[in-house]
Chains A and B, each alone.
Chain A
Amino acid sequence: MNIQATNAGQITVLQASGRIDSMNAQQLADTFNAQISAGQTQLVLDLAGVDYMSSAGLRELVNALKKLKKVAGDLRLAQPSKRVREVMEMAGLDTIFLIFETSAEAIDSF
């Protein structure tokens, strides 16, 4: 997995690519934690390049959202693939996260 962070004003867009699984979910957690520690609490995770996410990745999305909600922040998702959206729906996460068709829409939603 590769994650690139870009600032769009107060909002940080994290563009992930590759697989998110138990081998690298901690990398995703570390990325979220670094952003939160730096005071960036309005995050967009662009999942367009992610073709595989196991429950280990979903767990880190939920953990990050819990931390962000405590500081009045949010994690919004953009462009999940069909497969990623499917596992999110199975876990009921499509009702917990705001999910957008594009990163631009996710940014504008803040």
Chain B
Amino acid sequence: MGERHTLQIIPRLTSVQEALDFISEWGAHYGLDEDAIYHCHLSVDEIITNVVEHGFEFDENAGFIRIEMEPMEGGVLIEVVDNAPLFNPLMHPTPDPSLPLLERENGGWGIHFVRKFMNSVTYHSTGGMNHLRMLKSTAPEA
């Protein structure tokens, strides 16, 4: 366990880059390689986008999103915290990649990518806030 670093952003799509820069900086500091940082970028991008679109419904004055990073044994913990209405994105059904074009509906792929790219993903709520915790291993992937 190490020191936790926190970035708070306004819930809008143009804030995503700020979060990605924060992850680049601390991810590299904590030993994530380029591929691992890319996986963290895509995952955090997908989560923030979901929270902005569906949680806050594009109302940038409705609350905040916080990104927290902390080194763990063998990896890095990234936690996205927001005060949008409580919603567990992990309860969203995984879309079916075998569906033909015309049967496909928009949505659901972002959290699917998060599950695939991060080593563990868990959700809990506390104090009226959503917490999505993700662990990314510092070990190179096979």
Interface residues of A (CB under 8 A from B): 21-23, 52, 54-56, 58-59, 62-63, 65-66, 69, 83, 87, 90-93, 95-96
Contacts and interface: CB of A to CB of B under 8 A. Distances in A.
Contacts, number: 61
Which A-B residue pairs are the 6 nearest by beta carbons?
A: A92-B97, A55-B109, A22-B49, A55-B110, A23-B13, A59-B106
A54 B16 CA distance: 12
Given A22-B45, A22-B49, A63-B106, A55 B16 contact: no
A21 B16 contact: yes
Nearest to B109: A55
B79 to A, nearest CB: 20
A23 B14 contact: yes
Size class of the B contact interface (CB-based, 8 Å):
20 to 34
Contacts of B13: 22-23
Interface string B98-109: 111110101101
Given A22-B16, A23-B14, A90-B116, A96 B100 contact: yes
Given A23-B13, A54-B42, A91-B112, A66 B102 contact: yes
Contact of B101 (A54, A56, A66, A83): A66
B112 A90 contact: yes
B123 interface: no
Given A21-B45, A66-B102, A55 B113 contact: yes
